[in-house]
Structure 1
Amino acid sequence: MNSLRKLIKKEISITNLALIIPSNNINIQVFDRNSKLLQRERAAKALDVKIYDYIKDEIGCRLSDRIFDIKRKFNSVLNIGCGRGHVSKFIPKESVNKLILADLSPSWLEQAQATEGIKIEKQILDEETFVLEPNSLDFVISCLSLHWVNNLPGCFRCIINSLKKDGAFMAAIFGADTLYELRGSLQLAELERDGGISPRISPFTHIKDIGALLTDAGFTMLTVDTEELIIGYPSMYELMWDLKGMGESNAARNRKLHLSRDTLFAASAIYNQLYGKIKEKDKSRYIPATFQIIYMIGWKPDESQPKIMKQGTGEISLKDMYRIDEIIKEKQ
């Protein structure tokens, strides 16, 4: 099992190169954007599409709470990769005046809604190739969309270029530990039945890379944190069905389009054996699925922002902190 985890980590680190290389001249195509568009359109046109919004709505709600914590009303805001309005329907009108909803999928964009009282504008926009007027936005938001972008450094540069000075960028994306249980189970099954592994779960960015990407793009006053959302499913099949309904099926270019029934059955058995749990209430068995969420916020530099003092300019030494009250009285 340890050797498999090392192999999986090696695969993730290799495929993640396309997400973290900052050069303008290198753009490795890890994801098939056309396939992702088709997956989103198919998900949007399902009659029970609302059933699969639970994860994105939950993260969108948590993201909107963070927006509300910024005590400022933003005049012009872009919600890039808005989906079905997972953030926009929770954003308080006290925080936003005008909201631009943008997504690659026309059907998702049509279904997106926002809080009453906010001016809405919609436009079809590819997170990977968009160009906006420089210095035109006060705030850019993204919820669980940018993990499908091939050139993430380029995307961040486009975002900061579109922001006004002291404008903010806030986003939530899936982190590298997302669905590690499903990834390991599928690869163990393929090793056993097929003698090798293939990328069944799309690669995600590591939290340690996000700060470097934002800094390279020019953002300042960064805050990056993470949390895990663990959801129980009756079996691996319900999990995979829900991922399809969310439009989150694998879209890696080097993925195999066919997974044999025999390998699928083996993966389900391995998942249940390695990670299966029992509910205390009714003693029924379920499998947990981990979704790692990385939150980030960065600001476009401006002279009005707080600046770090130069080293050596402090008036009080840390070794004297235990007598801080006495030092304050002396200075008064």
Structure 2
Amino acid sequence: MKKILITGGAGFVGSHLCERLLNEGNEVICLDNFFTGSKKNILKFLDNPYFELVRHDVTHPYFVEVDEIYNLACPASPIHYQYNPIKTIKTSVVGAVNMLGLAKRVNAKILQASTSEVYGDPHVHPQKEDYWGNVNPIGLRSCYDEGKRCAETLFMDYHHQNNVNIKIIRIFNTYGSNMNPNDGRVVSNFIVQALKGEDITMFGDGTQTRSFQYVDDLVEGMIRMMNSPNDFLGPVNLGNPNEFTMLELAETIIKLTNSTSKIIFMPLPKDDPKQRQPDISLAKEKLNGWEPKIQLEEGLQKTISYFKDILNEA
């Protein structure tokens, strides 16, 4: 049994990771300040004697004895990370310093949940880990993009200077149950609008592309990365390489929900990437052949079922 700390553990991805690690027989400490995380996501674990919930903000130091740390704390959707951009970048940067300091003190292995946003609006397609990115350092999205880029720098420097055992993953668009219906991400937006019969809001002309990964595939990749040999630090892309336009996504969701929704077009937000697709050859090579197993329609059906239940409760 390992003692594992998950920052942002009550969030969308964090709650799935909590469940998987508990099911594997570990002791899990879930750290969250509930800015975007939800107690609903982790209610079912509260009676588990090996699960501990701590309300805490990672911008303040936290002291505990653990074997591993998954650092997921940070709002990940534009509507939330742009709400308080200074808080967002502090969460990424100061939070990384605090968690790396903890890992150094207790000799824990630590994984940083970075993001495909470090590639910005890419000039290279698909994106490989050796691409340095095309990021606006003073734009609306930069609090998130640059915060995550700086966190990667800190992880590497703590490794080189203090020999901290680090892992870095770059997460591409992920969806699934436990998403907040109002989180502003494209999959949840489109599904909720389709289920309500509202117009589906398409930003831009719908030709921009994304690659969508179901959350179970991501969690599998995260755990494989944490358990990979110590000499493999990353960064490594975790995403589904199948690329879809926003129009294809909207039309698939309308079909799967039998919705009468119409698609309406709005201006594209500033610095919104035109293309996003991971090259996952490094993950396949280093993480025992890891690749996504759940493709878009299957994952969307699971997610639509979850949102139907959420909307019925409301």
Question: What is the TM-score with the length of structure 2 in the denominator?
Answer: 0.40
Question: What is the TM-score with the length of structure 1 in the denominator?
Answer: 0.39
| Structure with the larger strand share | 1
Tell which has more relative contact order, 1 or 2 (C-alpha 8 A, sep 6+): 1
Higher Rg? 1
